[in-house]
């Protein structure tokens, strides 16, 4: 299996080597667990991102999960971002206006409004810019098979898309 050296198994509900992962409604979530990249590869990923995105701040580095696995599976596996829409629906997430976003909500990135999800991030800070009065969101997301980075909501690799949607599972009385 050339090119899949890091994949343990492709991850289905009957696969003993994937995580038993399901939505709140009980639907199995396909996932795959990956082996850690060698330290030299992880260091190269850090150096590349430091050059390409100097304003992003590294939190942690691991190749064993992706952005969706970070947000929905506690950093334990890789879940295809294309699965996000139905997972969020079955988990009770609802769309929010940007002005309603709170810390702990998530941002879903797409290349276009009706496109498939390409990336997801946690909102970790919400501030008001005193000079402009604008809301500024700081996010934490996993960039590829490299590191987790703190970044502004719009400062991330362009491959993830620039169209943003906001979701929350918050419940109110």
Q: What is the pLDDT of residues 82-124, one digit of tens each?
A: 999 999 999 999 999 999 999 999 999 999 999 999 999 999 9
pLDDT tens column, 30-75: 999 888 999 999 999 999 999 999 999 999 999 999 999 999 999 9
Provide the whole-model pTM: 0.87
CATH topology of domain 39-168: endopeptidase fold (from Nostoc punctiforme) (3.90.1720)
Report the sign of the C-alpha dihedral through residues 138, 83, 25, 9, in that order.
Answer: negative
Report the sign of the C-alpha dihedral through residues 65, 70, 73, 76, in that order.
Answer: positive
Joined tokens for residue 66: 């992706």
Q: Residue 11: what pLDDT?
A: 52
Domains of the chain, residue spans? 39-168
């Amino acid at each position: 299996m050339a090119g899949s050296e890091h994949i343990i198994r492709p991850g289905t509900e009957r696969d003993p080597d994937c995580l038993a992962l399901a939505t709140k409604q009980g639907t199995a979530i396909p996932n795959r667990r990956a082996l850690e990249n060698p330290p030299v590869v992880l260091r190269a990923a850090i150096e590349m991102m430091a050059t390409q995105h100097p304003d992003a701040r590294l939190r942690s580095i691991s190749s064993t999960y992706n952005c969706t696995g970070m947000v929905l599976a506690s950093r334990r596996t890789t879940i295809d971002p294309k699965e996000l829409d139905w997972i969020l629906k079955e988990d009770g997430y609802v769309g929010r206006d940007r002005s309603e976003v709170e810390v702990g909500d998530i941002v879903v990135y797409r290349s276009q409004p009706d496109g498939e999800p390409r990336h997801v991030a946690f909102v970790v800070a919400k501030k008001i810019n005193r000079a402009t009065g604008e809301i500024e969101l700081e996010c934490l997301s996993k960039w590829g098979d490299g590191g987790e980075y703190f970044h502004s909501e719009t400062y991330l690799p362009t491959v993830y898309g620039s169209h943003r949607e906001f979701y929350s599972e918050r419940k109110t009385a």
